[in-house]
Amino acid sequence: MSREKIEEGQLSCSLIVKKKPQDGVAGCSGEGQVGTGAASSATPVVVLSTFVAVCGSYVFGTAIGYSSPAQTGIIDDLGLSVAEYSLFGSILTIGAMIGAVMSGRIADYIGRKFNLILFIILNVTACQKAAWWLHLGRLLVGYGMGLLSYVVPVYIAEVTPKNIRGGFTSVHQLMICCGVSITYLIGAFASWRTLALIGTIPCLMQLLGLFFIPESPRWLAKIGKWKDCEAALLRLRGNNADIPDEASEIRDYTEQLQQLSEASIFSLFQKKYAWSLIVGVSLMVLQQFGGVNGIAFYASAIFISAGFSGSIGMIAMVVVQVPMTALGVVLLDKSGRRPLLLMSAAGTCLGCLLVGVSFCLQDLQQWMEVTPIISLVGVLVYTGSFSLGMGGIPWVIMSEIFPINVKGSAGSLVTLVSWLGSWIVSFSFNFLMKWSSTGTFFIFASICGLTVLFVAKLVPETKGRTLEEIQASMNRVS
């Protein structure tokens, strides 16, 4: 199967009428373009809706970044052993995997907005002081992160116009990076309890903002609330916007999908959903097994092993990460998803090769004076390249390619795969480094190289296309 086979999508051509073919994807015959009357600009309601949603993404980042600056304070104040604190750090991922399993179904049953409210409740509840409450709270935060991983990109993708959807959806990843970086900074001056309380501020901002933003019009259409769907769409596109074409497209496609039964997790493994499932799951597998969490969690140790200052290396990583993520947000709807993914995957491959070469030279006792520089450059190239595309774009594509009748089950599966991959890499990284530092990074480089081939052959370009066009072309729903 390759992306050129996109015309195998057998949805009625009346639902996919485009102005011109795109990336080898032939449109159905016809003159008009669906949704041309709909507003395509970033209205204040779209901006507000995205901001409120990504407040949760910022909290996501603070939770990831919290354990490092809080470690000394928590161990000293609560008398935890290193093993107990390791449990505190790792239990976040366990909670996230549990949340990931349930994320899609919960979002389908209670809606995107109420899913965000559940995340807020979990995070505020988690802000406790006793040791056992601390572990329970960390588990609840992880569970909330599992929910959030799915619902934020999906909600943003479903409320934004097609020509700005990619950039707005990738703000999710930008805010995660900002949350991690700012938590590192504040953690250098604040106690662990103060740091935890500060983390609740974006939660409260999100809770207040949810009263002022609409529910996803596509979710409203899925549950049959057509008037509410059109009202939400009008709010999002502006009161003077001409929305009949976009509303009609959403309605026609949703009605056709409603003729099918609601798909379970096992129903996903059918030929008609094969392309979407392969793309969604494989991008997450390649993202995680390319080594991102091993490098992120153990960057300081990597720098020290290579003979470089750990603190200087970490500062350099933060300086590179946030601007490159912001650049990816800006470029996503200009250059498209595929070019950025290809550049990003190639850059991560190069970065891993450089770090691998650095360790190889150390093992051979060659060029010892330059190996720390090679290692630093390699990690920074990897970090910058990953932030540019591979960090956020797989989540953008995940939010675009699954039809509404399978989106809940598919989203849960993809999110679970991502968190499971994160845990596997984080757990095994130290063992791999003991086995062979050089071999570890050459393995990561090989996986990143495989990502380039996978994107080139199988990942479709979704830039400038409505969700209905993308989903109909990738899933053979008749």
With a cut of 70, which residues of the chain have pLDDT below it? 1-40, 82, 118-132, 258-265, 297-298, 301, 305-311, 476-478
- What is the predicted pLDDT for the residue at 330? 92
- What is the predicted pLDDT for the residue at 33? 40
Q: Which residues are bridge partners to 25 per DSSP? A: 22
- What is the predicted pLDDT for the residue at 34? 39
- What is the predicted pLDDT for the residue at 243? 85
- What is the predicted pLDDT for the residue at 107? 86
Close Cβ partners of 364 (under 8 Å, ≥ 6 residues apart):
none
Contact between 162 and 35 (Cβ < 8 Å): yes
Over its C-alpha atoms, the chain yields an Rg (Å, rounded) of 22
- What is the predicted pLDDT for the residue at 317? 80
Map tokens 């470089």 to a residue. 308
- What is the predicted pLDDT for the residue at 113? 80
Contact between 405 and 263 (Cβ < 8 Å): yes
pLDDT digits (tens, 9 = 90+) for 141-181: 888 889 889 999 999 999 999 899 999 999 999 999 999 88
Contact between 289 and 425 (Cβ < 8 Å): yes
Contact between 63 and 126 (Cβ < 8 Å): no
Structure tokens at 28: 């159905």
Map tokens 């956020």 to a residue. 392
pLDDT digits (tens, 9 = 90+) for 239-274: 888 888 888 888 888 887 766 655 566 777 888 888
SS3 for 311-330 is: HHHHHHHHHHHHHHHHHHHH
**How long a stretch of residues is the chain?**
478
Close Cβ partners of 277 (under 8 Å, ≥ 6 residues apart):
268, 269, 410, 413
- Whole-angstrom distance, CA of residue 68 vs CA of residue 457: 39
Q: Which of these, 27, 134, 115, 145, lies nearest to 73 by C-alpha position?
A: 134
Q: Which residues are bridge partners to 22 per DSSP? A: 25
- What is the predicted pLDDT for the residue at 455? 96
- What is the predicted pLDDT for the residue at 298? 65
Contact between 127 and 149 (Cβ < 8 Å): no
- What is the predicted pLDDT for the residue at 119? 67
